[in-house]
Amino acid sequence: MKNNVRGSIIILEALAIIIISALILRIKANKDVVPPVISFPEGVVSYTQGDDQEVLFSGVTAVDDRDGDVTDSVIISSITVTEGAEAIAVYYAKDTSNNVAMAVRSVRFTPNDAAGISGIPVNTEPADIEVMPEKEAPDQSLTAIPDDSASQASAADTGNENSADGDSADGSSDSAISAEDVTDSPADASDTESAETQEIQPESADSVLASYESLDPDSFTGEDMERIGAALRSETEAARDSLPEGSPTIGLMVHAIYQDIGSRLNPLDLISSIDDAEDSIEYIFGQIHVEGNAGFTTDHPGKYVFRYYVIDSDGNMSNVARLYILVR
């Protein structure tokens, strides 16, 4: 009798486990994990800072595979000024399951310092913030050899005169050879090449940042930001090129930006590219790490360096991309 009861209990427990497992699988199968899709109309939209934001939403739609049209959920988180009259607008949309979609759009942007954009922070910076300033050509006057053709001719004439008087012309001949040797000196050519090589060596990003540690934020110039941005961009490109095959990569729109006191900044809005050989963009976007932003504030002037990187599902780490932020 006891054995029959015990057997019945075991069977009931097994059935309960099967039923619960089936319910869990069904719940997981029905769980909505797909974000909506944001679509933009063709062409480039023009926007002047301070104008009605409606122009940025015209024709923009968001459609979810379960909820259908969720265009009403579309918002613009930021507009980031890049180069010239261009800017990047970052849009977000979500469905009823709180799956969030992000999309970026190029905007023809006209700044207006007298107007503000309510609810949309604008990261302003020099138009050529990431353009390396042209270096002056090396001064060749220090290594140039003066033209001794006239003096050599004079020496030759003197030698001829001495020959006519019965004296040897060996002295003038030796003089000509000496001048020729100086002109074609391999050592001088090597020194010139070495100087030119040193001239074009890129600056270390760490050394560039160190040179500005003691500089007051209000003292920075556009050239200073150009130098910092160029050094960090070169660092990012070199790190990306040296990654093992199959590693994820990450890139930034800019590497040095100004932020006005009291403005807002979402660090993820400055990512220009993120890619992995196997993982989807939805997955890899959730694996972004941003370091250095724990104490970031725009309440007062300051200098900050953010480090961006991503780790894929196989544990591979991307290159590190650094962003320099100057609040003033």
Distance (Å, rounded) from C-alpha 211 to C-alpha 214?
A: 7
For 262, the token pair is 């009291």
Cite the beta strand spans of the chain per DSSP E: 37-39, 45-48, 61-64, 68-69, 75-81, 86-94, 100-110, 122-123, 249-252, 256-259, 271-275, 288-291, 302-310, 321-327
3-state class (DSSP) for residue 194: helix
pLDDT for 113: 53
Distance (Å, rounded) from C-alpha 293 to C-alpha 313?
A: 24
For 133-154, how does the pLDDT look when each residue is reduced to its tens digit (9 = 90+)? 333 434 433 333 344 444 444 4
Among 266, 270, 271, residue whose Cα is nearest residue 284: 271
pLDDT band at 306 (very low <50, low <70, confident <90, very high): very high
Q: What percent of the chain has pLDDT over 90?
A: 26
pLDDT band at 4 (very low <50, low <70, confident <90, very high): low
Q: Phi first, then psi: give them for residue 128, nearest 5 degrees.
A: -110, 40
For 47-94, how does the pLDDT look when each residue is reduced to its tens digit (9 = 90+)? 887 777 788 999 999 999 999 999 998 888 767 666 567 777 878 888
pLDDT for 188: 54
For 223-278, how does the pLDDT look when each residue is reduced to its tens digit (9 = 90+)? 999 899 999 999 999 999 999 998 999 988 889 998 888 888 778 778 878 888 88
Q: How many residues does the chain have?
A: 328
Quickly list DSSP for 215-265: S-GGG--HHHHHHHHHHHHHHHHHHHHTSPTT--EEEES-SEEEE-TT---
pTM over 0.85: no
For 159-176, how does the pLDDT look when each residue is reduced to its tens digit (9 = 90+)? 444 444 444 434 444 444
Match 């054995």 to its residue by tokens: 3
Domains of the chain, each with CATH number or no CATH: 37-123 (2.60.40.10), 205-327 (2.60.40.10)
pLDDT for 26: 67
Q: What residues contact residue 155 under an 8 Å CB cut-off, 6+ apart?
A: 172, 175, 176
